């Protein structure tokens, strides 16, 4: 909003959407015959990929991680899916597509105890994929064994020492 008398005028459309596309016109009325000035402009609003997500840890357990995210601007089109990348320790990235665009959080199950995981996400709309989210590095909690040791063996080494060997419990 400028000085109308001085000709300093503007039109601002905030939080523009595709439905704002169209023809916009301006008419300046000047006293006298045929002095008015008219100007028209066509506004075409094109959707864009969404902004990156912001991830945060909600809960960490022995075999699960719950995390949530907040979305930025959706690019003018609804989010249709998310891409989750997960890396265990220094292994390869595993990618999963989550088809539901309304989820605010996710729980990863059947993870290994006392293991470091890296998580990152992308949001997708009909135009494309967002930039990568922030990287979460999370270590699951330690867990008690799933059962007692198996095949326990004691071997005498000297009069003051023994060797104890066993096999881990079955999961």
Indicate whether 26 belongs to any domain.
yes
Determine the pLDDT at residue 50: 86
Q: How many CB atoms lie within 10 A of CB 133?
A: 23
Residue 101 has pLDDT above 70, yes or no: no
- Look up the domain containing 36 and give its range: 1-46
Determine the pLDDT at residue 97: 92
One domain for residues 74 and 135: yes
Confidence of residue 68 (pLDDT cuts 50, 70, 90): very high
Q: Worst-scoring range by mean pLDDT, 21-25, 34-38, 147-151?
A: 34-38
Mean pLDDT of the chain: 88
One domain for residues 63 and 114: yes
Determine the pLDDT at residue 146: 83
- How many degrees, rounded to 5, is the angle at CA 70 between CA 89 and CA 111? 25
What are the C-alpha distances in Å from 161 to residues 122, 150, 151, 158? Answer: 57, 22, 20, 5
Determine the pLDDT at residue 139: 97
Indicate whether 154 belongs to any domain.
no
The answer for residues whose C-beta is within 8 angstroms of residue 41's C-beta and 6 or more apart is 23, 24, 25
Determine the pLDDT at residue 153: 93
Residues of the chain with pLDDT > 90, as a percent, come to 53
Region 16-20: mean pLDDT is: 81
Confidence of residue 7 (pLDDT cuts 50, 70, 90): low
Determine the pLDDT at residue 16: 78
Residues of the chain with pLDDT > 70, as a percent, come to 94
One domain for residues 60 and 133: yes
Determine the pLDDT at residue 65: 97
One domain for residues 66 and 135: yes
Asked if 142 and 62 touch (Cβ cutoff 8 Å), the reply is: yes
Determine the pLDDT at residue 35: 75
- How many domains are there within the chain? 2
One domain for residues 39 and 71: no
What are the C-alpha distances in Å from 160 to residues 152, 153, 156, 157, 163? Answer: 20, 17, 9, 8, 11
One domain for residues 41 and 68: no
């Amino acid at each position: 909003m400028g000085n109308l008398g001085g000709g300093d005028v503007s039109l601002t459309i905030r939080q523009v959407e595709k439905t704002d596309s169209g023809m916009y016109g301006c008419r300046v009325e000047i006293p006298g015959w045929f002095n008015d000035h008219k100007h028209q402009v066509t506004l075409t609003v094109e959707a864009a990929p969404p902004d990156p997500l912001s991830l945060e840890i909600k809960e960490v357990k022995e075999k699960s991680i719950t995390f949530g995210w907040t979305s930025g601007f959706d690019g003018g089109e609804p989010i249709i899916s998310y891409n989750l990348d997960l890396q265990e320790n220094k292994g390869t990235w595993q990618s999963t597509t989550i088809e539901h665009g309304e989820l605010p959080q996710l729980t990863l199950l059947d993870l290994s105890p006392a293991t470091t995981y890296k998580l990152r996400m992308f949001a997708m709309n009909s135009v494309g994929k967002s930039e990568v989210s922030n990287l979460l590095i999370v270590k699951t909690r330690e867990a008690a064994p799933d059962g007692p040791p198996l095949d326990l063996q004691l071997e005498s080494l000297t009069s003051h020492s023994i060797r104890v060997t066993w096999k881990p419990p079955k999961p």
